[in-house]
Amino acid sequence: MPRRRFGYVRRLPSGSFQASFTPPSGQRQTASTTFRTAADAGRYLDRVELDIKRGQWVKDQGLGNRTLRECCEAYLEENPRIGKRWAETCRRNMRLNLTDLLDLPISAITSPVVRAWHAKVLRGNGGRTSISQTYRLVRSVFNVAVQDEAILRNPCQIPGAGSVKVPERQIASPQQVAELLEKITPRYRAAVVLAAWCGLRRGEVCAIRTADVDLDAGLVRVAKNWVELLESPEKYEKDPKSEAGKRTVNVPPHVLPLLRQHAADFAGPEFFCVGRDGKRMRGNTIYQAFVRARNLVGVQIAFHDLRHTGQSLAASTGATVEDLKKRLGHSSSAAALRYIHAVEGRDLEIAKALSDLALDGNAAKLPRSL
């Protein structure tokens, strides 16, 4: 067989042909497949040589032949930053939005293929948040594939496809929080005040031990989070999202009497919030009780919006971003700022302060907070 300028071709006992070459790393590599003819093997080596010269060669390990489904599952299983709840959400999004791509080899999914898929799902009935979550998952999976040298570049190149513009969250006024407390079943009032006035997540409310609540000092210690999966009966306790989530929160004095009443009437020996059976209160039970009270009051907010309410009201007192991060257990300023929303009536107070500035003429004399 004629000697080649680049690479080697040899005939195997089976009659097929094998191609091998020496890449820039210096370690001889054999093609992952054999070829029917010597010419086919030669054309393969010509393409490899051209890719190397262009700086576009990717080490052939057969990784590009894995399907997107296999790569997504590996990513969800192997990434230590992905919890079971988020993995469940990603798998649901895969079923809803990604069926056209899941069984394709990742090497066959190019930028035009991704654009066509994305345009198709946007024309469908899927939710925009679900679609953007799916796109972010695929983009992350392909980032790993690029790191593994399975593909040359990430085909997810659609600007803004991984983000979605969500409407401004509704928050409750102090009066509406009081009305919710009046309408909700008394057993669940502590959950409402811990979310609205102390900024606790629903899972954190379910995880609080009775020993974590020091009513004499007016403190609540947050150390764990309770997770309930949506599509399986699995439930488990885990640490908060970050170290910042482990915190001690000062309880506003005006809600201490309610928490004392809860401690006397409803708290269990282990958990501060328990159901009628004396066991840890379930997050879904809190949600259902809240929905009933919400409908009676006539406000359209989710239970998690109470946490946004607490952050916004705390900000209106003049609390700094660092204060707010510590209170709600955020590890970044961006996360803390996402929880701040306009407080009803605040703009009028700002307008009055501007008039004071105009009359006095010295901004240094104005208070830093209203």
Domain total for the chain? 3
Quick count: other Cβ atoms within 10 Å of Cβ 49? 16
Residues 34, 291: Cα–Cα separation, whole Å: 63
Question: Is residue 202 domain-shared with residue 314, that is, in the same domain?
Answer: yes
pLDDT in tens, 133-161: 999 999 999 999 988 878 878 999 999 99
Asked if residue 355 is part of any domain, the answer here is: no
**Structure tokens of 282?**
């379930």
Given a cut of 60, whether residue 237 has pLDDT beyond it is yes
> Any idea what the CATH number is for the domain that residue 237 is in?
1.10.443.10
Domain-located, residue 358: no
Judge residue 358's burial from the number of C-beta atoms within 10 Å of its C-beta, 0-12 exposed, 13-18 middle, 19 or more buried. Answer: exposed
Q: In this structure, which long-range contacts are made by residues 129-136, counting pairs with CB atoms below 8 Å and at least 24 apart in sequence?
A: 129/164, 129/166, 130/93, 130/96, 130/97, 131/97, 131/164, 132/161, 132/162, 132/163, 132/164, 133/89, 133/90, 133/93, 134/90, 134/93, 134/94, 134/96, 134/97, 134/98, 135/161, 135/162, 136/162
Query: Which CATH number belongs to the domain containing residue 34 in this structure?
Result: 3.30.730
Q: Is residue 140 part of a domain?
A: yes
CATH number at residue 116: 1.10.150
Q: Are residues 48 and 69 in the same domain?
A: no
pLDDT at residue 156, as a whole number:
96
Do 52 and 70 reside in the same domain of the chain?
A: no
CB 252 within 8 A of CB 317: no
Structural domain contains residue 279: yes
Q: Is position 359 within any domain?
A: no
Q: What is the pLDDT of residues 36-77, one digit of tens each?
A: 899 988 988 998 888 888 776 666 556 777 899 999 999 999
Write out the residue range of the structural domain in which residue 142 sits: 64-147
Whether 299 is in a domain gets the answer yes
Question: What does the longest C-alpha to C-alpha distance in the chain come to?
Answer: 98
Location of structure tokens 């040359």: 152
Block residue for tokens 């309770």: 226
Q: Give pLDDT, residue 344.
A: 56
Look at residue 323 and tell me whether its pLDDT is greater than 70: yes
Counting residues of the chain whose pLDDT is more than 90, the rounded percentage is 54
Whether residues 29 and 140 share a domain: the answer is: no
Same structural domain, 273 and 132: no
Q: Which residues pair with 235 in a beta bridge?
A: 228
Same domain? For 79 and 17 the reply is no
Q: Which residue has the higher pLDDT, 55 or 293?
A: 293
The model's pLDDT over 351-367, given as tens digits with 9 standing for 90+, comes to 666 556 566 655 455 45
Q: Give yes or no: residues 178 and 285 share one domain.
A: yes
Residue 106, both tokens: 């990742």
Quick one: CA dihedral 50, 55, 58, 64, positive or negative? negative
Q: For the segment 79-132, what is each residue's pLDDT rounded down to a tens digit? A: 988 989 899 999 999 999 999 999 998 888 889 999 999 999 999 998 999 999
pLDDT-above-70 percentage for the chain: 87
Same domain? For 331 and 189 the reply is: yes
Q: What are phi and psi of 149, to 5 degrees?
A: 60, 30
In a domain, 95, yes or no: yes
Q: Are residues 69 and 197 in the same domain?
A: no
Tell me if 137 is assigned to some domain.
yes
Same domain, 123 and 252: no
CA 141 to chain centre: 15
Whether residues 69 and 53 share a domain: the answer is no
Confidence of residue 370 (pLDDT cuts 50, 70, 90): very low
d(CA 188, CA 185): 6
Q: In what order do the strands lie in the sheet with 219-222?
A: 213-214, 219-222, 247-250
**Pure H helices in the chain:** 38-54, 68-78, 84-97, 111-123, 128-147, 174-183, 189-196, 202-207, 256-265, 283-297, 305-316, 321-328, 333-338, 346-360
206 and 262, same domain (yes or no): yes
